[in-house]
Amino acid sequence: MRQIVQKLKTGQLGVVEVPLPAVKKGSLLVRTYYSLISVGTESSTVKTARKGYIGKARERPQQVRKVADVIKTQGPAQAYRAVMHKLNSYSPLGYSCSGEVIDIASDLTGYEIGDLVACGGSGVASHAEIVNVPINLCVKLERNADLAQSAYNTLGAIALQGVRQADIRLGESCAVIGLGLLGQLTALLLRAAGIRVIGIDTDSTKVNIGARHSLDLALDRGNFGIEDRIFDFTGGIGCDAVIITASSDSLDPINFAGAISRKKGTVVVVGEVPTGFSREPHFYNKELQVKMSCSYGPGRYDRIYEEKGVDYPAAFVRWTENRNMQAFQELIYAKKIDVGYLTTHTFKLEEAPAAYDMILSESEPYLGILIDYDVTKKVDFENRKISIKPSVSGLQPCSVCIGFIGAGSYAQSYLLPNVSKKNDVLLKGIMTTTGISSRSAAERYGFDFCTTNEKDIIENDDINTAFIATRHDSHAYYVMEALKAGKHVFVEKPLCLKIQELDDIKQCYKLSAKSHQHLMVGYNRRFSPLILKIKKELGQGPMAMAYRVNAGAIPKDSWIQDLDVGGGRIIGEVCHFVDTLTFLCGSFPISVYASAMADPNNLNDTLNVSLTYQNGSIGNISYFANGNQRVPKERIEIFSHSAVAIVNDFRELTIYASGRKKRKKLLSQDKGQKEEVKQFVNAILNGVSELISFEEIYNTSLVTFKISDSIQSGESIKI
């Protein structure tokens, strides 16, 4: 299928062929008929991408600060990789479309193939021939719905949420500052609700359009006596509400809103404007209420609502983003509003770059711009693979032929760059659930093909090694499928999320072990040069070990904290530190006791773990999410046979032994990711034994499950 994409590095914009997206749990696959260009948002994105590096940095100061933090903690090389990952990836454009349902996830009801729908969501309702849409980001339409008007879905919901925030009554007056697409929609909705609508803009063309279709009083911001005219129109009272839909760096919109408001009126900020208003004479003297309107409405930015489809009860949250979309579509269908006049241009998909050129050059007047899609082509559901470059069929002798499943930020920062590009290491295929990310990674790292179907990797006889770097809840499934297919497997931690999955993997591994398949989990810290130095200097034997992790907070609504998806931070990250201590002391834990600090969200991510080992060693993991990020993340102290080894954030090692002090300092942080990948590939090439025994892998996962059990029971648990 084809999709409009842009590269942030060059600003190059075009229509590229990408794999058909996979229909995810709780989602629909929709064939797009029309998508709407959100002129304000998308033009800003395109303009930023076409600027130089300095211009990009000025537009995104928060991102610059993040890069600076990475340089401090992980060094310039890793910071460069992270930046290049963002700049070289294809970015989707668009977030509002309409079309026809062509596939439905097995867990959904209430929809049928052929239903017409309107969709919303950044990265969801993109300018693409086929989109995968979560249930709460799409609404069903009538069979004879006008799909061109329905494509205004997202902007309509944004406008409607702004009107709801104004909380305005029948017969009252409301001013709309900014008469672009969002302002025109807002005015239409207000008038349909029986509100007397005043529209203001600096562009006389937009003022005139509003005057013909949606405004009771249309004013150019530069008109003489504009405030007097508004007070005359409102009977000397002033506006009951003012909704700002403009996009500007100026303080004029917010201060002007205060000037034309009545006493105790409401100012709603929908557009992107600064809010540093002057306290006097208006906002203070009139006791004005200033409200922010959050996009489409309640549910926006809530992963549980948008990704998992968990709705808010209507009795408690009457108007969610989905119900706002429904209300907007009902108004269109009932012809209570007509947004047809807003469409000034319609472009075919292949002509889309010209549409953006017109927007940026302002070569002609425009308002609503639709992308029109060819829906006559047959959709090939079976073929989700796209060739990037010619490949040689068949496994090559003594080679590692790699297929990647998942290509998120971690994979592209730490795994893919470290896969050697030697003649005996071949990058065959890469799979992600979205076509755009799949193609981006394939082109950047030189894979033969990209796909959104895991079968193209797992059932591919030309691939003998699978790297798995997806979200945690899919690790167990992909590991077992790849092992059954006879492949070597590298899976990023954790191995699995449930004890039953661990036992299933164990049974699967027993069968694969006969074929000398490697199973590797991404416990990279044991491959760090500083950890290897400790292992060499202190050797085996009983140790007292303390591992302090200043982990930092992760919001409760992050997928990592979701026990069903990320497994929580104990299973998802503490496994790293369990493995590192096991490696250092050379023995398995035999008991664990853990306690977590109480928190209102019950996240259990500030905790202490005490471990005892078969060889008499003891270990403590202090994992704290309530610290300060200016303090280095990880510190390890090892005490053994009158020697002490201290690792500070994998940049510095100090060993005190035999009356001497040894110190090793690295130029940048090295947690072993590069060495880990290198050794895994070499182990397959050279036919050597596994780098981490399955017994160790199994034990580490088991310990993390027992940590959670100990927190719940308050007791020490044997392993």
Question: Stretch 147-176: mean pLDDT, rounded?
Answer: 97
Cα(709)–Cα(68) distance, rounded to whole angstroms? 39
Domains of the chain, start order = 2-152+302-372 (3.90.180.10), 161-292 (3.40.50.720), 397-520 (3.40.50.720), 524-718 (3.30.360.10)
Do residues 275 and 256 lie in contact, with contact meaning Cβ atoms separated by under 8 Å?
Answer: no
End-to-end CA distance of the chain: 51
- Tally the C-alpha atoms within 13 A of residue 71's C-alpha that lie toward its C-beta: 9
Q: Note the helical H segments in 50-180.
A: 53-59, 61-74, 76-88, 147-150, 153-166
Omega before 542 within 30 of 0, i.e. cis: no
Question: Stretch 648-674: mean pLDDT, rounded?
Answer: 94
pLDDT of residue 65: 65
pLDDT of residue 424: 87
Residue 274 pLDDT greater than 80, yes or no: yes
Tokens 């006969």 correspond to 514
Question: Stretch 645-658: mean pLDDT, rounded?
Answer: 96
**412 DSSP assignment:** I
Confidence category of residue 42, pLDDT binned at 50, 70, 90: confident
Buried b (16+ CB within 10 A) or exposed e, 685-709: eeeeebbbebebbbbbbbbbbbbbe
Omega before 390 within 30 of 0, i.e. cis: no
Question: Stretch 47-74: mean pLDDT, rounded?
Answer: 63
Residue 52 pLDDT greater than 90, yes or no: no
Do residues 122 and 137 lie in contact, with contact meaning Cβ atoms separated by under 8 Å?
Answer: no
Question: Stretch 380-396: mean pLDDT, rounded?
Answer: 78
Element (H, E) at 429: strand 425-431
More confident residue, 69 or 531: 531
Cα(703)–Cα(706) distance, rounded to whole angstroms? 5
Element (H, E) at 595: strand 589-596
Residue 269 pLDDT greater than 90, yes or no: yes
Q: Which of 32-36, 324-328, 684-688 has the lowest mean pLDDT?
A: 684-688
Cα(16)–Cα(5) distance, rounded to whole angstroms? 7
Tokens 């959050």 correspond to 294
Question: Stretch 336-362: mean pLDDT, rounded?
Answer: 94
Tens-place pLDDT, residues 395-448 = 555 689 999 999 998 999 999 999 977 778 999 999 999 999 999 999 999 999
**110 DSSP assignment:** S
Cα(361)–Cα(38) distance, rounded to whole angstroms? 16
Cα(19)–Cα(429) distance, rounded to whole angstroms? 12
pLDDT of residue 395: 55
How many percent of the chain have pLDDT more than 90? Answer: 82
pLDDT of residue 190: 98
Q: Which of 512-516, 534-538, 582-586 has the lowest mean pLDDT?
A: 512-516
pLDDT of residue 717: 97
Q: What are phi and psi of 228, to 5 degrees?
A: -60, -40
pLDDT of residue 51: 67
**312 DSSP assignment:** P
Residue 62: CB atoms within 10 A of its CB come to 6
pLDDT of residue 68: 62
Q: Which of 84-98, 118-132, 218-232 has the lowest mean pLDDT?
A: 84-98
- Tally the C-alpha atoms within 13 A of residue 349's C-alpha that lie toward its C-beta: 23
More confident residue, 235 or 380: 235
Question: Stretch 679-704: mean pLDDT, rounded?
Answer: 94
- Tally the C-alpha atoms within 13 A of residue 77's C-alpha that lie toward its C-beta: 8
Helix (H), strand (E) counts: the chain = 23, 32
How far from 521 is each of 283, 467, 650, CA to CA, in Å? 59, 10, 20
Tens-place pLDDT, residues 697-711 = 999 999 999 999 999
Q: Which of 381-395, 495-509, 603-617, 657-671 has the lowest mean pLDDT?
A: 381-395
Confidence category of residue 659, pLDDT binned at 50, 70, 90: confident
Q: Residue 657: helix, strand or coil by DSSP?
A: strand
Question: Stretch 83-110: mean pLDDT, rounded?
Answer: 88
Give how far the C-alpha of residue 617 lies from the chain's centroid of Cα atoms, to the nearest Å.
Answer: 41
Residue 90 pLDDT greater than 90, yes or no: no
Single-letter code of the amino acid located at 252? D
Element (H, E) at 427: strand 425-431
